[in-house]
Amino acid sequence: MIDLRSDTVTRPTQAMRDAMANAPVGDDVYGDDPTVNALQERVAALFGKEAGLFTPTGSLSNQLAIRTLVKHGDELLTETQSHIVRAELGAGAVFSGITTRTWPSKNGILRAHEPLEIASPDAGPYLVSTTAIAVENTHNFGGGTVQSIHEIADLRKQSQALGLTMHLDGARIWNAHVATGTTFQEFGSHFDTVSVCFSKGLGAPVGSMMLSTRERILEATRWRKRYGAGMRQIGILAAGVDYALTHNIARLAEDHRRAQVIAQACAGVSAELIDPALAQTNIVAIDVSRTRHSAGELVAQLKEEGILAGAMGSKLLRFVTHMDFDDAQLEKVIKILPTLLKNSLVAK
C-alpha cells in the first residue's frame, strides 16, 4: 500500500533507531533525563524561546500552551478550520474552561484584519473577553498553506497593542520554513507560546514540544503531570527527535516537490479540483464537490488500487507526502488518481 493519509505514518530509519537505542536516559519527572533536557534547550534556542517542554502529542502541547495564555472563562480566537477547534475534541473547554470564537478564511490563509475585527479584549462584566489569538502554520485543513510572515507580524503588532497574546500551532512549521526560507527564530519572535511537532514530516515516531518563557513552561510542566503525561526515560524518544532535527529538515523540499506533481496532475483533469499554487508544502487537498462521488467513496476506490488517502469530510480528498513516499510510488499515484477523478467527473 502507498500510504498518503498523513505524514504521521512514517517509520524511523535504522540510523534513527540506533540513535534512540544508544541514548543516555534518566527519569524526566525528576528532570534527570539528559537527552530530553538537551533537546528542550536545542529547540527553545532554535525559536528564540527561554525553555521547552517535551510532550507526547501536538494536541497536548497546544492545550498546555493556550491554558497558560487564557484564563478560565476567557476567549481564544482562531481560524474556523484550525486544528485546535476541529481536531482536539473540545479539549480547551473540557480541561481549561476556555471559550473559542473563530473567523473563517479561504484555505486557512491568515489576514491580520480578520481576527482583529472580532477581537474583544476587556469586554466588561457581561461579555466574554478575548485573551489570545492562535495561528496555525502550515494550515492543515487549508491544504498545507503557509502563513505570510508579514501578516503574522502585522497581527502581532496590532494585537499586542490591545493587550492580547498569541500562540503558534506550528505542527508543520518545518514545512513553512523550507517553503519560504523564513527562520525559526523569526517565526518564534511573534508568538508568546509555540507548539511544534516532530512525528509528522520529520519522521520521528513520537513527540511534540511547547516553547515559551521559563515561567510558562514551569506552569505547563505541572499541568502535563496533572494530565497524566509525566514521562520517565523519554530520552529514547528525544534521541529520535534530535536525529530528525539534524537530518530531516532540508529533505522536506522533496515532499513539497512530490505534492506539487500530484496537484498538477489533478489540476490537469479539471481546474475545479485544485489550484496547484495552493499546494505549497506537503499536503494536497482536492475539492471533490463537483464529482459524483464523495471523498469517502473515492478513498475506497483508491484503496482498491493500492493507495491510501484521507477524507476530510465529504467534499475534500487529502494526500500528504512524506519521507517514506518515493518517486516510484509517485509515478503510480499520478497514473491512477487522475484517471479515477476524470471518470468521476465524466460520469456526473
What's the grid cell of residue 137?
Answer: 502554520
If you classify domain 14-247 with CATH, what class do you get? alpha beta
Under 8 Å CB-to-CB from 187, ≥6 apart: which residues? 47, 137, 149, 152, 168, 170, 173, 176, 177, 194
3-class DSSP state for residue 103? strand
Please tell me the CATH code under which domain 251-346 is placed.
3.90.1150.10
Distances (CA, A) of 139 to 169, 176, 330: 9, 10, 23
CA distance 72 to 181: 37
- Ordered by start, the domain boundaries in the chain are 14-247, 251-346
Q: Which class for 11: exposed (0-12), middle (13-18), buried (19 or more C-beta within 10 A)?
A: exposed
Long-range contacts of 85-90 (CB under 8 A, 24+ apart): 86/141, 87/59, 87/140, 88/59, 88/62, 88/63
Q: What is the pLDDT along the chain (348 residues), one digit of tens a residue?
A: 999 999 999 999 999 999 999 999 999 999 999 999 999 999 999 999 999 999 999 999 999 999 999 999 999 999 999 999 999 999 999 999 999 999 999 999 999 999 999 999 999 999 999 999 999 999 999 999 999 999 999 999 999 999 999 999 999 999 999 999 999 999 999 999 999 999 999 999 999 999 999 999 999 999 999 999 999 999 999 999 999 999 999 999 999 999 999 999 999 999 999 999 999 999 999 999 999 999 999 999 999 999 999 999 899 999 999 999 999 999 999 999 999 999 998 654
pLDDT at res. 346: 66
- pLDDT for the residue numbered 83: 97
Same CATH fold assignment for domains 14-247 and 251-346: no
Integer Cα distance of 144 and 148 in angstroms: 13
3-state secondary structure of 203: coil
pTM as predicted = 0.96
